[in-house]
Chains A and B, each alone.
Chain A
Amino acid sequence: MTLVLEQLLNGLQFGVMLFLLAAGLTLIFGIMGVINLAHGSLYMVGAYAAAFAAAQTGSFLLALLAGLAAAAFIGMVMELVVLRRLYARDHLDQVLATFALILIFNQSVTILFGRQPLFVAIPPALNGSVQLLPGLVYPVYRLAIIAVGLLVALGLYLLINRTRVGMLVRAGATHREMVRALGVDIRLLYTAVFGLGALLAGLAGLMAGPILAVQVGMGEQILIMTFVVVVIGGVGSIRGAFFGALIVGLVDTSLRAFAPGLLRHVMTGSEADALGAGLASMGIYLLMAIVLLVRPKGLFPAHV
């Protein structure tokens, strides 16, 4: 029973990470209509900037600030220099342009930091594990990630539903032309939203640093998963991104954790392992296909 609970926590933690990435992606997509393949690069930028700052200063707080600032800054520069010119264009042009950005980011990071993966320490205060229930020991750092992710989700909810900026964002996602026609400085709004999305991606990246490998190409690994979340949740919807991320996180984790074991009840060990692994790999894609076939606009579409 504690094993199931622990796996649920793992799924929650993974889902929360995905949410941080998906929130930015879905906002950028919903409001500006841009498919940004380079969103994963911002995740990488956050991780590298934090790793570098931590190595130079040894301070977790400075690393945190560096990661957030670098990702937001690079994101806004990206918007001003490249993406701004693409809003009126076709999705295909956006795909090619942001793919080009991925190449540029990856090679620049290789030149600046080398090809060797970087080391990031867990901040001492968050090191170690705590006992949540008898028999359920869980790393503090992962609990911290869950807490941060939920706080960000709450913050975004308040921002979008309770503030003027949020109102514009909501309006922008459903009636883009109308917002523009009302004389809102849409360019500033776009840059700000892009910066916010980049900041969240950077946050995800810097939090992932101590758990995963900080290396070139880390953004592309998680990018596709993030797109899956956005599409399952419904493009442009923060609420969709949140539930989509949790669903994907939980489904992915439980398939990996339980599918081989359950299959072992009905077939021999090695076959069950192979089939289970295959199922776990394909699981979320299968989930996305099914969701889209039943609800072509996703679970919580922004355009209600």
Chain B
Amino acid sequence: MSRKKLTRRQFVAATAMSSAALITAPYVRGAYAAGKLSIGFWDHWVPGANDSSRALVNEWAAKEKVEVSIDYITSNNKKIELTVAAEAQAKSGHDILQMYTWWPHAYAEQLEPVNDVVEAAIKQNGEVNGTVKYLGQAAGNWLAVPATPGSQIKGPCSRIDLMKKHAGIDVQELYPVGSPPKADSWNMDTFLKAAEACQKAGFAFGIGLGETTDSVDTAGAIFQSFGAELVNSKGDLTVKTDQVRQALEYYKKLIAFLPPDAPSWDDASNNKWLISGRGALIMNPPSAWAVAKRDAPQVAEQCWTHGFPAGPKGRFAPFLPYFWGLWSFSKNKEAAKSLLAYLSQPSSIEKFVAASGGYDLPAYAKMTTLKTWAEEGPPKGTLYHYPNPYNHQTLSIAASPAPPKIAQQIYAQATLTKMGLRFAQGEKLENTLAWAEGECEGFMRS
């Protein structure tokens, strides 16, 4: 048996050749994505809802051979906002980070444009509403990808029995399952009368007047339904207008029928109000109803989620879209875009909606009639009109159409609810307007 001996020269040559081959060879992967990807998702309220995003990401990662790590970051005590701010400062952190409403504009300079992903998703899933464009686009570029998890409409969730008994309104008749709303009579005047009747009967509407989002969103929709803008889309001050005066006069009348402690309410207070059976209506996504299903089933089976009352300038419902942002300092942008495209597929969206029990709302027009909303109950069909399937209301966000960086200040500092409260507590209307104008002037600094 002969054995060929490897000379030193041959060994060096073989090593050099194999090294050269390894270095120059194309980086072969199954798709255009590879390497590692770090994701920061919003930690969902609904138990088990995170499982769907985890499963979808893992499914994609296995296919694309990408190593992924996911952190679920709570929005309790503004943790997710702090994370966004910290990563933007450090220019390091997750590749993809979930951010809501104002954050794409706030960190526009540090976000990678995602036109290719969003345009493809729109082509597939239908057009997005105006609020998503307003919050997600700047100078024609998409700053972030509309995310289904977390996106929500904060419309009325009414007690069927109490509204029928005390206000004479059959909300199921106004918003029947499987057919368009017959809600022409559901306007701001009817709403005010119903608020008064229910308050007198001991079941006041649970609308907060605090400084957290639920309170601000309701105030925003009321202002918009009167055409009231504090700052217009060009960035001009429009506080001292008749529309703002009308909105405030209406808001003051409504405040008189709300619980006296509403100025101190936070985003949990209205949920508790409904679940405890003390209120006939709150403005909230179906999370309160979902908790009631578990803790107070007799309340849950009387809940009906429906559209906002119409004002003189139209019917507006508060909509809070969430986005997935891709940092410009991400080291794996191609993989990130591939994942975001995957999460925006109709099949992925359907899974998000089902896992959240209908809470999550896709931003796309063709995705508002999924079976989850028709089937969820009790009562069956309670969420049918939650995703605005007939577009009978304009989805909007408080403080719009002011330029987003100004609107964010109006929103975060709860200027609208503060105006209503100041006026309702006896301040002269013109003084309230002067105060708001001063505040808005301050918000315009660049």
Q: Do A and B come from one complex?
A: no
